[in-house]
Amino acid sequence: MKILALETTCDETAAAIVEAGDSSGSPIQVLGSVVASQTDLHVEFKGVVPEIAARAHVERILPVIHRTVERSGVQIGELDAIAVANTPGLSGSLIVGLMAAKALCLALEKPLIAVNHLHAHIYACQLGCQESIYPCVGMIVSGGHSHLYRFDDPLTAHYLGGTIDDAAGEAFDKVAVMLGLNYPGGPEISRIAQTGDETAWAFPRSFISEQRLDFSFSGIKTAVRYAIAGPGKTNFDDVVLDSKQAADLAASFQAAVVDCLVAKAMQAIQQTGLGQLCVGGGVAANRRFRIQLEKACRDAQVNLHIAPTDLCTDNAVMGAIAVERYRAGLFESLDLDIAPGLVRVSR
C-alpha cells in the first residue's frame, strides 16, 4: 500500500509518501519526503510562536504536499490512505494538517489514518532496522516533550513517566537565549559546548537518585541564570560572557541534562525488565547524549535504537507508523478531532 503522511504538530510543515506490503514486518520504502522548516519565522522570537506557526502551515501545506507527490513519482489517485498526526501538539498547527488530510480523503475517497506524533518519533527507530524494535522502552525527548513509555507493540503504549515542567529541548532553547545563542538552541549549545569544561558548573540533576521516572528541567534553567548573573544577583541583562564562559556554561548545562536523560532511560529499562531502548525527538540528535546512552546501554547489555539524526527532529517519514494502523484496519471517520494534550495510554 502507499500512504501519504502529513505532519504539522509544531513548526515544521512536512509530508511523506511511504510504500509497504500488507503483511506485518515487510519493509517500508520512503518514496518522497519534504520538510518545510519555519525556523526563519520564529528565530527573532527565540522560540515557536503558535499563531505564526499555524498561519505558516496554512501557506505551506499544499505546496509541501504537491512537491512530495511530485518527488515520489506517485499519481495522487494511487494513494491507499491519508495519514495525519492529530496528537499531541499546538492546536492551531494540528488543525491545519488534519483539515488538509480530511479534504484529501473526501476528494480522493481514501481512508483517514490518525498518527500519534510521539509514537511516530519512536517508530523513526524502526525505519531502516531489520528486526522489530518492539517491545521496548520508548523515550521521546523533544522541544515539547520528554517522556518515557513502555511500548508493547508500535501502537500500544503505556506512560511510565516524564517531565513535570519543561521538556529537555525547551530547556536547551531557553538556556541558549541566556547565552545569546540562536533558536533552536539545542544544536547551538551542543556546538559551543565542544570547547567547554563540563565540570566548570555543578548544575542540578533532578530526581536522579530517586526511582520515579520523572524529569524536571525548570530548576536547571534558574541555576544557569544565577550562574550568569553572579552571586546574589538575578539580573544578567548587562552581563557580557566571553566565549570561554559561555562554552563552560553550555557544556556544564548539557552534561547535567544528558545525565538525567540517560539515568532515567536506564532506570526505565531496569523497572520494566525490557531489553530494548528506542529514542526519538529533536534532542536525540545531541551528540553527547547519543555517546553517553550508547555507553550506558553497552554496559547494561541493552539493545539501543536511536532514530537516525535526520529523523530526530519533526518530519513526516516517521508517520510511516500509519502502515501499522493500516495493517491493523484502524481507520478514522472524518469526525476525527485534534487532541493537543498528552495521551498516557493509547492505541
Q: Which stretch binds Zn ion (CB under 5 A): 31-39, 43-51, 165-173, 311-319?
A: 311-319
| By the rule CB under 5 A, 315 interacts with Zn ion | no
| By the rule CB under 6 A, 162 interacts with ligand KG4 | no
Do residues 316 and 9 make contact, with C-beta atoms less than 8 angstroms apart? Answer: no
| By the rule CB under 6 A, 220 interacts with ligand KG4 | no
Q: 38 vs 72, which CB is nearer to ligand KG4?
A: 38
| Alpha carbon of residue 59 to chain centroid | 23
| By the rule CB under 6 A, 93 interacts with ligand KG4 | no
Q: Residue 187 CB, nearest distance to ligand KG4 (Å)?
A: 4
Q: 53 vs 104, which CB is nearer to ligand KG4?
A: 53
What grid cell was written down for 303? 539493545
Q: Residue 78 CB, nearest distance to ligand KG4 (Å)?
A: 30
Exposure class string for 190-229: b at 16+ Cβ within 10 A, else e? bebbeebebebbebebbbeeeeebbbbbeebbebbbebbb
Among 12, 19, 166, 314, binds Zn ion (CB under 5 A): 314
CA-based torsion, 282, 285, 288, 294: positive or negative: positive
Among 134, 151, 172, 217, binds ligand KG4 (CB under 6 A): 172
Do residues 234 and 224 make contact, with C-beta atoms less than 8 angstroms apart? Answer: no
Binding residues among 136-175 for Zn ion as defined by CB under 5 A: 142
| By the rule CB under 6 A, 319 interacts with ligand KG4 | no
Q: 104 vs 193, which CB is nearer to ligand KG4?
A: 193
Count of residues that bind ligand KG4 according to CB under 6 A: 20
Do residues 158 and 180 make contact, with C-beta atoms less than 8 angstroms apart? Answer: no
Do residues 198 and 189 make contact, with C-beta atoms less than 8 angstroms apart? Answer: no
| Alpha carbon distance 238, 222 (integer Å) | 17
Among 50, 135, 187, 219, binds ligand KG4 (CB under 6 A): 187
What grid cell was written down for 35? 520538510
187 makes contact, choosing from Zn ion, ligand KG4, none, with CB < 5 to 8 Å by partner type, with ligand KG4
User: DSSP class of residue 163?
Assistant: B
| By the rule CB under 6 A, 186 interacts with ligand KG4 | yes
Q: 104 vs 318, which CB is nearer to ligand KG4?
A: 318
Do residues 283 and 172 make contact, with C-beta atoms less than 8 angstroms apart? Answer: yes
Q: 38 vs 142, which CB is nearer to Zn ion?
A: 142
Query: Nearest-CA neighbor of 186 among 219, 144, 227, 158?
Result: 144
Q: 172 vs 326, which CB is nearer to ligand KG4?
A: 172
Do residues 159 and 26 make contact, with C-beta atoms less than 8 angstroms apart? Answer: no
| Alpha carbon distance 104, 4 (integer Å) | 10
190 makes contact, choosing from ligand KG4, Zn ion, none, with CB < 5 to 8 Å by partner type, with ligand KG4
Query: Phi, psi (5° rounding) for residue 39?
Result: -50, -40
Residue 57: count other Cβ atoms within 10 Å of its Cβ.
Answer: 28
Q: 92 vs 184, which CB is nearer to ligand KG4?
A: 184
User: DSSP class of residue 184?
Assistant: S
The footprint of Zn ion (CB under 5 A) covers: 142, 314
The footprint of ligand KG4 (CB under 6 A) covers: 10, 142-144, 169-170, 172-173, 184-187, 190, 281-283, 285-286, 313-314
